[in-house]
Amino acid sequence: MTQFATDPRFEDADRFYHGLVEASAALAEDKRLDFSLRLILLLASQIGEDAVLRECIAEAARPFNPENMQ
Amino acid sequence: MSRAPSLGTTGYDLPVFEAVVPAAVASGATERRTVAIVGGGVTGLTLAADLSLRGVDAVLLDDDLTVGVRGASSRGMCYAQKTLEIMDGLGVYGPIRDKGVVWSVGRTLSGDDVIYEFDRAGDNGSLQPPFVNLQQFYLEWFLVERIVALGAVEPRWGNKVVGIALASDHVDLEVETPGGCYALRADWVVDATGAGSPLREMLALPVEAAHSVDRWCICDARFVKELPAERWTWVNAPFNADRAVWQHPMADNVWRLDYQLGPDADPADAADSETARARVRAHLGPDTPFELVWVGPWQYRAQLVEHMVHGRLILAGDAAHVMSPFGARGGNSGIHDADNLGWKLALVTQGRAGPALVETYHRERHAAGAENIRVTSQTSRFLAPESDFERRLREVAIGLAREHPFGRALVNTGRLSLPNRYTDSPAIGPRGGFCLPNVALGDGRSLAATLRDLGTGFLALYLDDAPELPAAAPARAAKLDDPSGEIVRLTRLAAGEVLLVRPDLYCAAVVPAAEAARTVETLCCSLAWAQAA
């Protein structure tokens, strides 16, 4: 069972980050958002657990919520 | 060796060596040597000191009369543990530690906040610290003094190679000196002439290169201020228009301050001393007096030769591979090249290993070069995003890093030099390929010193019963006395097994005692093995 976690779990964080950079650089600018969304859905399906996914959505949105705006 | 007057703008007193005019200039005879090292930078000097200690006939040719790349402008300054261990084996670690700045803590900042930090102290049982910062020319100077004291390899200053011809069992060089030219025929030639190698050019050897558009400007400054002896890197510094800044302490109260410039920056303007002064003033604040020691704008490239061994010509250091400096992998990897090559050349020229052993230098160090280029290129790209997508990706990664540990793993201001792992090499056997730390053994001697005591050979360490090794094999058995416990932990050496340690402190293999002798033969690329290859 996957838990919502914020500790480092990457086998190779730099390689993942660079993979994102290279994949985006190979796309036209107007395709990069769609690419990101496809990637989110693929990664979400790897996780599966509904509770974890809802926590991820809440944490991703948190800085943009009105109560957190400075 | 004479001391020169101050070299003005460099702010340092550097040695000036006398040009050497060998006897062959007057006699016109072709000089014969076993090894000729071309280029007296960190790579060539490390190899010269190493071959001196291994009793290999060699000569070092350098077209300059001092240390550093044309004086103080050489820019390497961070030496990682493996390099310091190598220097310990060569007998120059003491002066490096005493002159340099020992450190272990690095911090990455965004704006005014630290978003990531590491402390590499106490990682392993090594007698050397994680890092020492020191201007490159000092390291070179200490090596020159050591080579001169050892008296085996002659450094020839003012000797410039102007011609080269490869043959199957030697290399012919034409060398120019202030007194005239001479011909030198060496069994092996090592090209350590740096990124723009003239030897490589003369032979038109293939190189794969990629240039970056990211521009930086080093402003080395001497000042006294209460700052910790740590590596600080800003991804985006408020005092540098939200671009990256590096801050490292070096010897003589000089700090390496390195500023990322805007994409359209004019390098000539960046190098202007008033512009540089304003940049440093904004960084240090109005109350810290400072003196600019050296200012130099720079751009980086990634470059890798196809092959590092061409018959009897061997490429090492920047002549073979060039990378962005993030992570201090350039100078360190050149030194690691020399450390990898020295013992192999010694065994081969002394007839104790097959010539194919030299080819394993290419296998191991070419893979290391490619790995170092990959790692440093990832950092380069993080520091210089090329699209709006990348800029925003970086911004959210930094935002996550401020709050969550996992995000910190994504913030990449350089992954500092570590010994590369070697796989797929004939000089690596079962369970080998990784580097052992330079621990103190039970008799108080370091692992590096114990290996040096052998001359050149493998150390066959065991826990209970000694393996049988032929007297002619370049290996000596010793019962492992490992007070730190690190060697057993890393190698999982068990009773009845033997750990073969290479002269460069790599674990070559862990094998059953009965297979030790045959494994040494295989690792040395015995002549039978070489003919089959």
Q: Could you identify the residue written with the tokens 């993030």? A: B326
pLDDT at position B98 is: 97
Q: Using one digit for the tens of pLDDT, what is the confidence trace for B26-62?
A: 999 999 999 999 999 999 999 999 999 999 999 999 9
B63 pLDDT higher than 70: yes
Q: Distance (Å, rounded) from C-alpha B344 to C-alpha B353? A: 8
B7 pLDDT higher than 70: no
Q: Using one digit for the tens of pLDDT, what is the confidence trace for B489-507?
A: 999 999 999 999 999 999 9
**3-class secondary structure, B51:** helix
pLDDT at position B6 is: 36
Which parts of B39-159 are beta strand (E)?
58-62, 78-80, 101-103, 105-110, 113-119, 131-133, 154-157
CA A4 to chain B, closest CA, distance in angstroms equals 12
B71 pLDDT higher than 60: no
CA A70 to chain B, closest CA, distance in angstroms equals 15
CB-closest option in B379, B406, B410 to A7: B406
B298 pLDDT higher than 70: yes
Q: Distance (Å, rounded) from C-alpha B172 to C-alpha B380? A: 40
Average pLDDT over residues B88-95: 96
The single-letter code of the amino acid at B315 is L
**What pLDDT band is residue B73 in, cutting at 50, 70 and 90?**
low
Assess B383–A contact: CB distance below 8 Å, yes or no.
no
Average pLDDT over residues A13-18: 96
B269 pLDDT higher than 50: yes
CB-closest option in B397, B403, B406 to A8: B406
Residues of chain A that touch chain B, judged by Cβ-Cβ distance less than 8 Å: 5-10, 13-15, 17-18, 20-21, 24-25, 29, 32, 63
What backbone torsions phi and psi does residue B325 show, to the nearest 5 degrees? -80, 0
Average pLDDT over residues B67-71: 69
The single-letter code of the amino acid at B466 is A
B69 pLDDT higher than 70: no
Q: Distance (Å, rounded) from C-alpha B282 to C-alpha B277? A: 9
**What pLDDT band is residue B472 in, cutting at 50, 70 and 90?**
confident
pLDDT at position B10 is: 52
Question: Which of chain B's residues have a Cβ under 8 Å away from the Cβ of A14?
Answer: 375, 378-379, 382, 410, 412, 415
Average pLDDT over residues B258-274: 88
pLDDT at position B3 is: 36
Mean pLDDT of chain B: 93
pLDDT at position B531 is: 41
Quickly count: other Cβ atoms within 10 Å of residue A49's Cβ: 13
Contact call for residues B316 and B190 (beta carbons, < 8 A): yes
Q: Using one digit for the tens of pLDDT, what is the confidence trace for B233-265?
A: 999 999 999 999 999 999 999 999 999 999 888
For the entire predicted model, the pTM comes to 0.94
Query: Inter-chain contact B387–A29, Cβ cutoff 8 Å?
Result: yes
B419 pLDDT higher than 90: yes
Average pLDDT over residues B464-475: 91
**3-class secondary structure, B208:** strand
Among the residue ranges A62-66, B176-180, B218-222, B529-533, the one predicted with the least confidence is B529-533
Angle at the Cα of B358 (from B200 to B169), degrees rounded to 5? 70
Nearest CA in chain B to A31: B389
Average pLDDT over residues A48-63: 95
Question: Which of chain B's residues have a Cβ under 8 Å away from the Cβ of A25?
Answer: 386-387, 390
pLDDT at position B8 is: 40
Q: Distance (Å, rounded) from C-alpha B191 to C-alpha B140? A: 17
Pairing, β B458-462 against β B497-501: antiparallel
